[in-house]
Amino acid sequence: MLRTSPRLLRTICTTAAAYQHKLKLALIGQSIFGQEVYNKLRKEGHKVVGVFTVPDKNGQADPLALAAEKDGTPVFKFPKWRAKGKPIQEVVAAYKSVGAELNVLPFCTQFIPMDVIDCPKHGSIIYHPSILPRHRGASAINWTLIQGDKKAGFTIFWADNGLDTGPILLQRECDVGQNDTVDDLYNRFLFPEGIKAMVEAVHLIANGKAPRIPQPEEGATYEGIQKKENAEISWDQPAAALHNWIRGHDKVPGAWTTINGQVVTFYGSSLLDASVPAGQELTIKGASRPGLVTKNGLVVFGNDGKMVLVRNLQFEDGRMIPASKYFSADDTTALELTEEEKKIAEDIRAIWKRILSNVAVIEDSTDFFKSGASSMHVVRMLEEIKEKHCGLQLQNEDVYMATKFADFIQMAVRRLRGEGKEELVTDYVSKNMNNMTVNMPYQCFINGKFIDADDGKTYDTINPADGSVIASVSSASVADVDKAVAAAKEAFENGEWRRMNARERGLLMYRLADLMEEHQEELATIESIDSGAVYTLALKTHIGMSVQTFRYFAGWCDKIQGATIPINQARPNHNLTFTKKEPIGVCAIIIPWNYPLMMLAWKSAACLAAGNTLVLKPAQVTPLTSLKFAELSAKAGFPKGVINILPGSGGLVGQHLSEHPDVRKVGFTGSTPTGKQIMKSAAANLKKVSLELGGKSPLIIFSDCELDRAVKMGMGAVYFNKGENCIAAGRLFVEESIHDEFVRKVVEEIKKMKIGDPLDRSTDHGPQNHKAHLEKLLQYCETGVKEGATLVYGGRQVRRPGFFMEPTVFTDVEDHMYIAQEESFGPVMVISKFKNGDVDGVLQRANATEYGLASGIFTKDINKALYISEKLEAGTVFINTYNKTDVAAPFGGFKLSGFGKDLGEEALHEYLRTKAITVEY
């Protein structure tokens, strides 16, 4: 049975399982995958009696052999098992001498005779990278991509004398992303889950529970290894088919075409769903339309007019270049190295020598791969360079594009000098709506790149206007949190951000604000379809205030100051004492779903202005503007690792951020119960916390108010952003003499409101954010009715697709009722009367809540207004207005509404620490 060994770049630990029986195992195979299976099986208590792998290559032992030799396990390195189709008896005898009860073939590139396969009492199991019987053969995963399958996976089956035809023991499957490569599928799923499954399969066999399911013949295919001559690109195909062909052959043998009489191989393709970019035309043999060399790569066209972006090109001499450099590839002259750069080059030469131990001297012409290195050595080399020279951040692809030592040094020095910075590669979900094309990133943003979640999991984000799926978004895992925090920590401690002066930070923030303004219509459209916000409100408030917030805090960057402090002098010495305001470090920011981008801006802008780095978790139901923000931050030039965005579960991602030891500050906006949980988690390592939590904000309307204005403002206080507003007036106290007229006018105005599509410019009232919240609001209203409050208007779901609720009015609400005590966070107006002239009585009732976020007063009597404002227990008091927030005014609550401030100068101090320094002179 022939197997191919994939390029596997990482390892994952699996949780130990309890086995009732242990087996004596022979492992036949190679690669890091084989090494990991070997380690896990030994950890589980099974005895590996022999490892059968391939001979050393260029003096380098296979990883499986290295691990086994280190443990003292017998290792056999046979170049082949058969000669002229017959088993080599000495090889078979050596195998039989170990006395295995089961053969485990994790990855095997050799033909193993049936004398060996059938020898153990339990037979042999083998790993295969496809959902058998589809795509039998060594190139199964390549054909999964070439044929555009939506599902990939692997099979562990009982080996027989056919080609991958034995009975199935177990199978696992995963989704195939639009731009997934072979490496993506292996690293995300086939590698980590395959290791776990091999261990599980041995467990089933040991306990006598392993199934043998015959493979169906229906749908079975077999494709052999692609030869280079068969990998030529046929251009008369749709773009998707071209993309599948290129990515299916990436990296071996490589899809190729002829350009200017030379064979050129394409690597790193993705579908490009955008307008045709500017670029220089490049004639390609057989293509009906010239390609375009653009700043992001080579754009080629399918016969359907759609586009594929190719990032890298390789020529016949093995030289690989970025496709964007095709016309300038030969124009690069050798750099003259400084003395410091020469020292770095020698450090790298020493690293190469340690890896290429079989090479006597590392010459300028030494080729990394031709000297015996493999893909596993790439990771080691880059990590050693990073450890010694933290400012030199290289990628795996850099090594493949500069395999000779002299070329590698030139490339490394150019990176150090800031040349050739990697362009952001962004996969979009694109939709034509609101008279524009909206491009929405959907992956996690970690360390300056959009990547799938570590475990490949996704979830659907829903348009509340009609219940349709907008996009399938990556759902970050604990491993992603660790990666994002590590990236933020590295950026804070050692990266360019740390070395940047305050004024430069401010310029980056101004640039980001400009980009947000430039994309404001697209951002508002995304915000509208993802959160349900009316487009006009999203444009003005959700996006408009976000832009203002970044500009406001950009201006603070170079104005953060300490103080000099006169202290008691000990004669004859003199002392100078001063304070410094310093950034805290890595900050976790967790935001709600009612104002997705604006809440991001309120916290992130202050955090960044102070010089911190951040990991932000948007609300699970509204991730899309945060991810678009990540794209814009990269375009603005923010160094990688400074901003990281992790969509996903609050219970998973938010919890792990709260307790992570490398996170030094948590900024949270959300519910009070969740805020309490964050405080408990943060207490484990005493990280700084600021919380903006729930509210039940009182609005007191006196009879001496300007009534029409009070009606208008009162409705805004409740129904603004369809009631999904943290400072919404949770309870209106209306003076008895104007109560009935106030209610009548409110109902009249509600009847004029247009409920409908939030993208319609004439819509007043959009859908609630998500289905579960709508159901909670309907239950809230039912409770109010049961308790005896009068439902004057609304209280029902609107009969149309989506999650629409009627604006609602309750009167006759008594202080003990549930709706008088608890926040609705929706379009529910809760009205209580108070006696004429009873100022202190209504004040006492207004304060009789455990919350203290905001409050309001309507009266023409300024003395009365100021008296009440002093007595109200709330972080914000509005007088004859409501919802009037500004980027310069601090915002935050008292009591169970939390502590700490967003906005204004005070917000900066939430993300700074004070250091006192005393000098004696």
Q: Which residues are annotated as a binding site for (6R)-10-formyltetrahydrofolate?
A: 110-112, 164
Instruction: Please give, one letter per residue, the 3-state secondary structure of 220-232.
Output: CCECCCCCHHHCE
Cβ neighbours for 547, distance < 8 A, ≥ 6 positions apart: 513, 516, 517, 520, 601
Residue type, 466: D
Choice among 692, 724, 735, 806 that is catalytic: 692
Q: In whole angstroms, what is the distance from residue 66 CA to residue 226 CA?
A: 30
Q: CA neighbours within 13 Å on the CB side: how many for 199?
A: 26
Clarify whether 806 is annotated catalytic.
no
- Supply angle C-alpha 835, 838, 842, rounded to 5: 90
The alpha carbon of residue 98 and the mean position of all alpha carbons in its chain are separated, in whole angstroms, by 48
SS3 content of the chain, % helix, strand, coil (to 5): 35, 25, 40
Angular region, 912: left φ>0, alpha ψ -120 to 50, beta rest? beta
Asked if 390 is an active-site residue, the reply is no
What the block records as the tokens of 282 is 């490049």
Q: Are 796 and 803 in contact (CB under 8 A)?
A: no
**DSSP sequence for 296-363:** TEEEEE-TTS-EEEEEEEE-TTS-EEEGGGGGGTT-PPPPPPPHHHHHHHHHHHHHHHHH-TT-SS--
Rounded CA gap, 95 and 156, in Å? 22
CA 775 to the chain's CA centroid? 29
Distance of CA 137 to the CA centre of its chain: 34
User: With b meaning 16 or more CB within 10 Å and e meaning fewer, what string describes 729-762?
Assistant: bbbbbbbeebbeebbebbeebbeeeebbbbbeee
Binding-site annotation, residues? 110-112, 164, 591-593, 617-620, 650-655, 670-671, 776, 823-825
State the maximum Cα–Cα separation within the chain, in Å, rounded to a whole number. 107
Q: Which residue has the tokens 């405080």?
A: 679
DSSP run (H or E) holding 483: helix 478-493
Active-site pick, 36, 44, 122, 128 = 128
Q: Is 726 a catalytic residue?
A: yes
Measured between alpha carbons, how far is 556 from 510 in angstroms, rounded to an integer? 11
Task: Give every CB contact of residue 214 below 8 A, 6+ residues apart in sequence.
Answer: 167, 168
Instruction: Report DSSP state, residue 208.
Output: T
DSSP state of 188: I
Which amino acid belongs to residue 849?
T
Residues marked as catalytic: 128, 692, 726
